[in-house]
């Protein structure tokens, strides 16, 4: 059936990518309306155009007889203007943003105007798809591929759509990236830090600073969009438009800090000093930043300011393109760029080696940044840049403003003092072995309301609630502008905006990623008929027979069964075992590498849906998956079955060794500077082989790796082998009989 589609982009309404997509969608019978930026807005991310744009008229013009419009603003502004005002009485089935000239992969997702145009659609309650394509100067081939795939993708979604239901799960969008040239197939992927191109900041010959492009190579990962794209596949990643972390992260943060913050903690000076980089979106001379710096210095921290030269409010995750100035002053540096670019500059070019910060603090900002619409905050954008791009913990700190738009007297000080308490609490509950203040890939957003009481706080997650709904209205004279209406509350018990509106300080964990949850990813895979991490025929006319295993992972004797599967959710057990072995490698290497270290490496592995569609008789697939677990630079670890086992009384010492503090799903990680090639990793391969033998029906089809543990006990120096042996015995007892495994 014909869909009503709002089409936007970030390259501008005259760009060839949007024209080719418009033509293909229209030829397929869909009703397409364009509302796109007037000029190129690449890399403008979630920006609204800056503080001035919020108080200025937005120029709008119809450019053809078909009722299509250009909007003089960023991609988010274009979508807001269309859905709030231009077509407020029209019902759309979805928003499509693209086709962008150039892929948006990995760390480019957050700063992409194309992706954030789609995010704006999600915030309006519509499904959304961001489409990007590799394109040379002509760009025709990439655009043709992208248009053809988008038409087929919509057909797949329509074929699965239930009456009265949206095309995609509520609050869900897709980020699609299409290569040039011959395409192997399409792969359901996830957004990670792995990109097709990196853009580090360096100093130019003339003394200015700017980014340079460094093409990346595939490392063969099965699940991340970066590697799959580099291998010549279309990537499809489920996105949710939300930089907040999940409920497990919120619950873990609450368990760590609630009592300490309620009772008060020891002064931060009693804990180890930290190197803190201080940024904001109000400029390096802003009162909020000055107050925060003074409070952190008084608490005994080493603070270096790396902040924008001038106010950059409402610029979200946007980048500054081209050269820009960096000026050193007595407090640090000010950078004539957006907050995100300022963070990149600090971490790529200014604070290197021993000067690398342990923590980035962004704020205090003037005005709260709560709910989904907080993505336009430069303060939050700076924290996201640190957490997602560099895995350095970051805290965004914002204070409420009164009716005049000013932060009342004393609220900066209250906010900064509460920040110091939070940092002290994080240090007091920090796991040992050099781990970070916050779990890998997590940061924190703190919002302090008017008349705040530092004993009245809540641990929250962002949703549609906010401190004042921002939308675009017509002035009746042909002009349009942003207007702030009444606050919005929801009935979500962890709603950030709702708790803030009730006068509570909110503490919200963030992961800085638009990636949707594992459950949503798998649901999207079901809708599209795509196996996670496997090359699929992308034609809408294909059927299940077209779903192919990844090259090199065919199951001997089971060529007819390309859709590999597990019975009874046993993939979770495999994943958790693998994650535990990965943790063990880190422990062994830390003790046995004899000074042969490489770089700061996290050896945890996610127990997400990676192996939802594999069989335990696919031994090579498992070996590759474990190799990815052991070599990954950016994976995380969520303990399911292992987590429950750690709660049993016999495993407390092992739980502590692995950095676990609870049996909940968590992203707490154990960090170590280790070499993946040192003796501990080599020893762990024996454990890996035994586990594979058990799970693949080898000669010794039982999970018995205690002998290897005994051999390595004298290597571990401080790791008690008895509780580990107890843990492994328990795991052996929990291993299911072989008849439960798929064959």
Here the CATH number for the domain that contains residue 285 is 3.40.1210.10
Q: Which residues fall within 8 angstroms of residue 627, CB to CB, at 6 or more apart?
A: none
Q: Are residues 333 and 463 both part of a single domain?
A: yes
Q: Are residues 130 and 251 both part of a single domain?
A: no
Strands 197-198 and 214-215: antiparallel
Q: How many CB atoms lie within 10 A of CB 45?
A: 32
C-alpha radius of gyration, the chain, whole number: 26
CA-nearest of 255, 254, 248 to 637 is 248
Report helix angle 570-592 to 619-631, nearest 10.
50
Going by pLDDT thresholds of 50, 70 and 90, the confidence category of residue 142 is confident
Q: Are residues 389 and 493 both part of a single domain?
A: yes
Looking at the structure of the chain, the number of domains it has is 3
Question: Is 730 inside any structural domain?
Answer: yes
Going by pLDDT thresholds of 50, 70 and 90, the confidence category of residue 580 is low
At 199 the pLDDT is 93
Query: In whole angstroms, how far apart are CA 192 and each of 23, 104, 108, 216?
Result: 32, 12, 10, 14
Q: Are residues 529 and 460 both part of a single domain?
A: no
Q: Are residues 291 and 424 both part of a single domain?
A: yes
Per-residue model confidence as pLDDT tens digits over 160-201 = 998 889 999 999 999 999 998 888 899 999 999 999 999 999
Query: With 60 as the cut, is the pLDDT of residue 651 above it?
Result: no
Mean pLDDT, rounded, for 548-553: 34
Q: Are residues 593 and 533 both part of a single domain?
A: no
Q: Which residues fall within 8 angstroms of residue 137, CB to CB, at 6 or more apart?
A: none
Mean pLDDT, rounded, for 576-594: 46
End residue of a domain, out of 495, 510, 525: 510
Provide the 3-class DSSP secondary structure of residue 1: coil
Mean pLDDT of the chain: 78
Q: Are residues 612 and 525 both part of a single domain?
A: no
Query: With 90 as the cut, is the pLDDT of residue 383 above it?
Result: yes
Query: With 60 as the cut, is the pLDDT of residue 331 above it?
Result: yes
Helices (H) and strands (E) in the chain, counts: 20, 26
Q: Are residues 536 and 621 both part of a single domain?
A: no
Task: Please give the residue that has the higher pLDDT: either 664 or 713.
Answer: 713
End residue of a domain, out of 460, 489, 510: 510
Supply the DSSP symbol for 162.
Answer: P
Task: Please give the residue that has the higher pLDDT: either 64 or 590.
Answer: 64
Q: Is the peptide bond before 364 cis (omega within 30 degrees of 0)?
A: yes
Q: Are residues 502 and 477 both part of a single domain?
A: yes
At 12 the pLDDT is 97
Mean pLDDT, rounded, for 44-61: 93
Length of the chain counted residue by residue:
743
Measured distance CA(621)–CA(572) in Å, rounded: 15
Query: With 80 as the cut, is the pLDDT of residue 136 above it?
Result: no
Which residue, chain included where needed, has tokens 């700017």?
210
Question: Is 576 inside any structural domain?
Answer: yes
* Alpha helices (H) in 389-474, listed in sequence order: 411-428
Query: With 60 as the cut, is the pLDDT of residue 598 above it?
Result: no
Q: Are residues 329 and 355 both part of a single domain?
A: yes
What is the residue-wise DSSP string for 185-253? -EEEEB--S--SEE--EEE-TTS-EEE--EE------SSBHHHHHHTT-EEEEEE-S--B--HHHHHHH
Adjacent-strand bridge partners of 62: 69
Mean pLDDT, rounded, for 192-221: 94
Percent of the chain topping pLDDT 90: 64
Question: Is 366 inside any structural domain?
Answer: yes
Least confident of 96-100, 290-294, 360-364, 576-580: 576-580
Identify the H or E element spanning 37.
Answer: strand 31-37
Which residue, chain included where needed, has tokens 């089935």?
93
- For 513-565, give the secondary structure using H, E and C: CCECCHHHHHHHHHHHCCCECCCECCCCCCCHHHECCCCCCCCCCCCCCCCCC
Name the E strands within 431-527.
443-448, 457-459, 470-474, 480-484, 505-510
Q: Are residues 475 and 596 both part of a single domain?
A: no
Mean pLDDT, rounded, for 118-136: 94
Query: The tokens of 85 are what?
Result: 């005002």
Query: The tokens of 104 are what?
Result: 């948006």
Going by pLDDT thresholds of 50, 70 and 90, the confidence category of residue 78 is very high
Question: Is 211 inside any structural domain?
Answer: no
At 738 the pLDDT is 42
Measured distance CA(138)–CA(20) in Å, rounded: 13
Going by pLDDT thresholds of 50, 70 and 90, the confidence category of residue 568 is very low
Mean pLDDT, rounded, for 141-166: 92
What is the residue-wise DSSP string for 356-404? --SEEEEEEEES---SGGGGG-HHHHHHHIIIIII---EEEEEE---TT
Question: Is 125 inside any structural domain?
Answer: yes
Query: The tokens of 682 are what?
Result: 């080599």
Mean pLDDT, rounded, for 391-420: 96
Query: In whole angstroms, how far apart are CA 43 and each of 32, 228, 457, 738?
Result: 25, 23, 36, 52
Per-residue model confidence as pLDDT tens digits over 497-542 = 999 999 999 999 999 999 999 999 999 999 999 988 899 876 544 4
CA-nearest of 142, 73, 133 to 100 is 133
Question: Is 120 inside any structural domain?
Answer: yes
Adjacent-strand bridge partners of 601: 672
Which string of b and e fits 637-656 if b means at least 16 CB within 10 Å? bbbbbbbebbeeeebeebbe
Going by pLDDT thresholds of 50, 70 and 90, the confidence category of residue 1 is confident
Which residue, chain included where needed, has tokens 């962008």?
100
Q: How many CB atoms lie within 10 A of CB 730?
A: 15
Measured distance CA(421)–CA(429) in Å, rounded: 12
The residue segments making up the domain with residue 278 are 247-510
Output the CA angle 247-530-112, nearest 5 degrees: 60
Going by pLDDT thresholds of 50, 70 and 90, the confidence category of residue 700 is very low
Q: Which of 258-272, 309-323, 468-482 has the highest mean pLDDT?
A: 309-323
At 538 the pLDDT is 60
At 176 the pLDDT is 98
Identify the H or E element spanning 72.
Answer: none
- CB distance 127 to 83 below 8 Å: no
Question: Is 137 inside any structural domain?
Answer: yes
- For 675-689, give the secondary structure using H, E and C: CCCCHHHHHHHHHHH
Strands 326-329 and 69-71: unpaired
Mean pLDDT, rounded, for 316-329: 97
Going by pLDDT thresholds of 50, 70 and 90, the confidence category of residue 669 is very low
Task: Please give the residue that has the higher pLDDT: either 89 or 551.
Answer: 89
Query: The tokens of 19 are what?
Result: 């024209």
End residue of a domain, out of 510, 530, 558: 510
At 735 the pLDDT is 44
Query: With 70 as the cut, is the pLDDT of residue 552 above it?
Result: no
Query: With 80 as the cut, is the pLDDT of residue 697 above it?
Result: no
Going by pLDDT thresholds of 50, 70 and 90, the confidence category of residue 52 is confident
Distance spanning both ends of the chain, measured CA to CA: 41
Question: Is 564 inside any structural domain?
Answer: no
At 263 the pLDDT is 85
Name the E strands within 244-286.
275-279
At 725 the pLDDT is 47
At 602 the pLDDT is 29
Mean pLDDT, rounded, for 592-616: 31
Percent of the chain topping pLDDT 70: 70
> How remote is the C-alpha of 689 from its chain's centroid?
33
- CB distance 70 to 58 below 8 Å: no
Q: Are residues 450 and 331 both part of a single domain?
A: yes
Query: With 80 as the cut, is the pLDDT of residue 569 above it?
Result: no
Provide the 3-class DSSP secondary structure of residue 612: coil
Query: With 90 as the cut, is the pLDDT of residue 682 above it?
Result: no
Query: The tokens of 604 are what?
Result: 């945890």
């Amino acid at each position: 059936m014909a869909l009503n589609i709002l089409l936007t982009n970030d390259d501008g309404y005259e760009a060839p990518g949007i024209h080719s997509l418009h033509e293909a969608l229209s030829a397929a019978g869909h009703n397409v309306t364009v509302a796109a930026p007037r000029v190129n807005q690449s890399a403008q991310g979630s920006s609204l155009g800056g503080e001035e744009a919020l108080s200025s008229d937005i120029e709008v013009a119809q450019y053809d007889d078909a009722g299509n419009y250009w909007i003089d603003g960023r991609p988010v502004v274009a979508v807001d203007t269309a859905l709030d005002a231009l077509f407020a009485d029209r019902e759309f089935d979805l928003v499509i943003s693209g086709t962008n000239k150039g892929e948006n992969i990995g760390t480019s997702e957050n700063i992409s105007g194309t992706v954030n145009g789609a995010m704006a659609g999600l915030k309006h309650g519509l499904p959304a798809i961001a489409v990007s394509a590799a394109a040379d100067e002509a760009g025709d081939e990439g655009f043709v591929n992208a248009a053809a795939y988008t038409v087929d993708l919509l057909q797949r979604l329509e074929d699965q759509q239930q009456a009265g239901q949206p095309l995609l799960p509520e609050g869900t969008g897709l980020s699609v990236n299409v290569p040039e040239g011959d395409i192997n197939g399409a792969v359901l992927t996830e957004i990670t830090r792995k990109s097709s191109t990196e853009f580090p900041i360096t100093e130019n010959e003339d003394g200015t600073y700017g980014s340079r492009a460094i093409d990346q190579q595939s490392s063969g990962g099965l699940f991340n969009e970066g590697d799959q794209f580099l291998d010549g596949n279309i990537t499809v990643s489920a996105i949710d438009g939300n930089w907040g972390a999940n409920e497990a992260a919120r619950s873990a943060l609450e368990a760590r800090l609630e009592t300490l913050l309620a009772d008060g903690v020891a002064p931060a000076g009693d804990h180890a000093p930290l190197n803190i980089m201080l940024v904001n979106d109000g400029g390096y001379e802003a009162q909020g930043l000055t107050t925060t710096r003074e409070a952190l210095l008084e608490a005994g921290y080493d603070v270096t300011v790396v902040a924008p030269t001038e106010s950059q409010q409402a610029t979200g995750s946007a980048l500054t393109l081209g050269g820009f100035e960096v000026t050193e002053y007595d407090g640090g540096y000010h950078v004539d760029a957006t907050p995100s670019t300022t963070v990149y500059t600090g971490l790529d070019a200014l604070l290197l080696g021993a000067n690398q910060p342990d923590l980035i603090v962004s704020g205090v900002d003037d005005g709260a940044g709560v709910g989904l619409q907080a993505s336009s905050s430069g303060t939050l954008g700076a924290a996201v840049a640190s957490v997602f791009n560099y895995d350095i913990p970051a805290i965004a700190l914002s204070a409420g403003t009164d009716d005049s738009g000013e932060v009342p007297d004393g609220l900066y000080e209250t906010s900064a003092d509460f920040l110091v308490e939070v940092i002290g609490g994080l240090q007091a509950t920090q796991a040992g072995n050099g781990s970070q203040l916050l779990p890998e890939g997590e940061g924190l957003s703190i919002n302090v309301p008017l008349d705040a009481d530092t004993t009245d706080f809540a641990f929250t997650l962002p949703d549609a609630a906010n401190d004042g709904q921002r939308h675009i209205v017509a002035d009746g004279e042909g002009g349009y502008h942003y207007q702030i209406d009444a606050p919005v509350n929801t009935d979500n018990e962890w709603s950030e905006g709702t708790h803030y509106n009730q006068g509570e300080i909110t503490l919200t964990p963030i992961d800085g990623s638009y990636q949707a949850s594992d459950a949503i990813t798998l649901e999207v895979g079901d809708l599209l008929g795509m196996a996670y991490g496997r090359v699929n025929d992308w034609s809408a006319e294909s059927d299940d027979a077209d779903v192919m295993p990844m090259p090199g992972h065919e199951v001997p004797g089971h060529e007819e069964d390309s859709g590999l599967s597990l019975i009874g959710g046993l993939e979770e057990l495999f994943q958790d075992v693998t994650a535990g072995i990965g943790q063990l490698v880190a422990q062994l290497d830390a003790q046995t590498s004899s000074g042969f270290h490489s770089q700061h490496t996290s050896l945890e592995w996610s127990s997400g849906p990676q192996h939802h569609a594999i069989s335990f008789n696919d031994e090579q697939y498992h070996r590759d998956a474990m190799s990815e677990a052991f070599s990954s630079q950016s994976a995380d670890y969520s303990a399911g079955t292992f987590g429950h086992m750690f709660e049993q009384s016999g495993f407390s010492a092992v739980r502590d060794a692995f950095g676990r503090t609870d049996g909940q799903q968590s992203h707490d990680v154990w960090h170590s500077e280790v070499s993946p090639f040192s003796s501990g990793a080599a020893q762990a391969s024996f454990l890996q082989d035994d586990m594979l033998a058990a799970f693949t029906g080898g000669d010794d089809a039982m999970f018995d790796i205690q002998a290897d543990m005994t051999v390595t006990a004298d290597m571990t120096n401080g790791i008690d082998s008895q509780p580990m042996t107890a843990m492994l015995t328990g795991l052996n007892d929990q291993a299911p009989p072989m008849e439960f495994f798929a064959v």
